[in-house]
Amino acid sequence: MDGESGAEAAGSFVVDFAHQLSIHARVTVVAASVRSSTCSTDQLSVRRFAVPRIPLSVLNPLLPTHWPLILTSLRSGAKALEDLVREDRPNHVLALWVLPGGFWAGRVCRRYGIGFSVWALGSDMWSLGKLPVVRQLLKSVCRRAERRYADGFELAKDVEALCGRPCEFLPSMRRLSPVIGVRHAQKGSYNLAFLGRWHTNKGVDLLLDALELLVDEDWQKISSIRLNGGGPLQEEVHAGAGRLIEQGRPISVGGYLDKQGAVELIEWADYLLLPSRIESIPVIFSDSMQLNTPIIAMPVGDLPRLHALYRFGFIAAQANSVEFSIALKAALDVDVATFDEGLKAARNDFSLEEIASRFLRDVAGGVR
């Protein structure tokens, strides 16, 4: 939530969700940071506990050198939550993510007789869930939770299969304010953008391979491509973009963006590129819907289901660079205004107000 290492993109939805909840209930957020601090308004408080490294997702349990940092972080988070529960006695605790948040909540809430829920995100099931011992811990936490949510339809099924308990879809999204409003490029002169982690799961390498497959006739229809983000594939991204730039292709590479920068990039783009190998429903999906920007996506996770519902742009036939390049070629021959109706329908369904209200209805006895 501090904008470090891409945390702005990943954690901004937590901030907006907490603010929306605080309209109707008193809310306290317990979050990791590089130093301890507390700030409060009448309805919303944020308690930050100190950990050795931010974000916690960079700590890898497969690396022995990370275990001291992991244990320190776990102890610090558990103590911060227990201090809050002991002092404030909240009516309910919502843990994001299942690990480590759900683990902390399960232990503390049982001790104080308070209900807790978990909101599973893709990193829980698709990264941590690959480790057998950690997978058993995920299962235990999910089974003990009063309610289970997941920010994707397929992810919710994965949680149910893991723990044998119901899990409901609850989308994650952040609130964005359009700057320029609805705008459409002239057909055949498109701006394309990628925003996210440069990681194999997010498929930025597949995107670069797909761009290599475009021919001169395709490039004549593209005004500019911007690749923004950062991560373990940084060298590959700069090398791949460099090769295309040497060929005279209009590509630029930049770092992570804060919320305002993301708004400006997504509004600038005529298509947002989503070449992920694995995905649930990324926050960037609802970002694009809010800002009326269609998407070119791989057919992974819930994206085919969402495309059938909203026709938000183009979806590749298969999750590989060849099929993504074919989808790109098709998109360059279509007036993006044809997607306006579907994007509007998605905006209505992915409403932060409805998401928060639904959660509060679920825990109605805890509102005060």
178 belongs to a structural domain: no
Please report the pLDDT score of residue 366 as a whole number. Answer: 42
Please report the pLDDT score of residue 42 as a whole number. Answer: 82
73 pLDDT band (50/70/90 cuts)?
A: confident
Domain holding 45, by residue range, is 4-173+351-366
Q: Do residues 80 and 49 touch, judged by C-beta distance below 8 A?
A: yes
* Average pLDDT estimate for 349-367: 81
More confident residue, 366 or 182: 182
Please report the pLDDT score of residue 350 as a whole number. Answer: 85
- Dump the DSSP string for 94-115: EESSIIIIIHHHHHHHHHHT-E
More confident residue, 219 or 35: 219
Please report the pLDDT score of residue 186 as a whole number. Answer: 62
CA dihedral 327, 328, 332, 333 (to 10 degrees): -20
One domain, residues 197 and 153: no
Q: How far apart are CA 1 and CA 49, in angstroms?
A: 13
Q: How far apart are CA 220 and CA 223, in angstroms?
A: 8
| Total Cβ atoms within 10 A of residue 85 | 21
Q: In percent, how much of the chain has pLDDT > 70?
A: 91
pLDDT in tens, 226-249: 999 999 999 999 999 999 999 999
Q: How far apart are CA 261 and CA 220, in angstroms?
A: 27
One domain, residues 27 and 162: yes
Two tokens at 10?
């990943």
One domain, residues 290 and 259: yes
One domain, residues 198 and 291: yes
One domain, residues 31 and 157: yes
Average model confidence (pLDDT) across the chain? 88
One domain, residues 235 and 117: no
pLDDT in tens, 270-318: 999 999 998 888 889 999 999 999 999 999 989 999 999 999 999 999 9
Strongest mean pLDDT among 5-14, 48-57, 104-113, 322-331: 322-331
Number of domains in the chain: 2
One domain, residues 127 and 266: no
185 belongs to a structural domain: no
181 belongs to a structural domain: no
One domain, residues 262 and 336: yes
Strongest mean pLDDT among 57-66, 87-96, 349-358: 87-96
Q: How far apart are CA 47 and CA 93, in angstroms?
A: 14
